[in-house]
Amino acid sequence: MRIAVSTSLFAGLPHKSVEFLEESLKHTPPKVTSPVYPPYYLWIYKGVDELLFLGDVEAAKNSNTMAANCADTYPENDRFNSKAVAQRRRQTVKFLEENPDSRAAQIGAWSQILSNANSQEMIEQVLAQIQALGGEVYFDSDGNLRVRVPEWID
């Protein structure tokens, strides 16, 4: 799943990333027991690429809807909190319907990439994008990096 982030950020090929994800999704059942992440994360990452790099809001809404539908097939209280993921994906779709050009949505997409950043270079690039959009970056009391969307945005 990291191929989406690395292909989009480092190779500058978001179209290729979406193409790889689409091909993977054709061969991945919606519900699989995985040692790492459930397959609905493929839909989530596809939606991030579509929104963030391609600016395709309609495709991003569709991918988030598919992620929500897949996440809903998992049992309550599974270790991935799939029901909560489904709810957040539906909130994302609703938000995109109401705010298709929203900087808040872009900050959220960059935050998703930040959570998977695996190099200092990627972290710095993502933080710069978040801050350029008006997002606030800070450390919480436990020393964890956090991102906040100020109320004045959108």
- For residue 86, pLDDT beyond 90: yes
Q: Which among 55, 63, 56, 69 is positioned nearest to 93, based on CA atoms?
A: 63
pLDDT tens per residue, range 5-60: 556 655 556 778 888 888 988 988 777 766 678 999 999 989 988 988 787 999 99
Highest mean pLDDT among 18-22, 93-97, 100-104: 93-97
Q: Which two tokens stand for residue 152?
A: 């004045």
Give residue 13's pLDDT.
63
In this prediction the pTM is 0.67
Mean residue pLDDT across the chain: 85
Backbone angles phi, psi at 147, to 5 degrees: -125, 135
Sign of CA dihedral 97, 83, 41, 141: positive
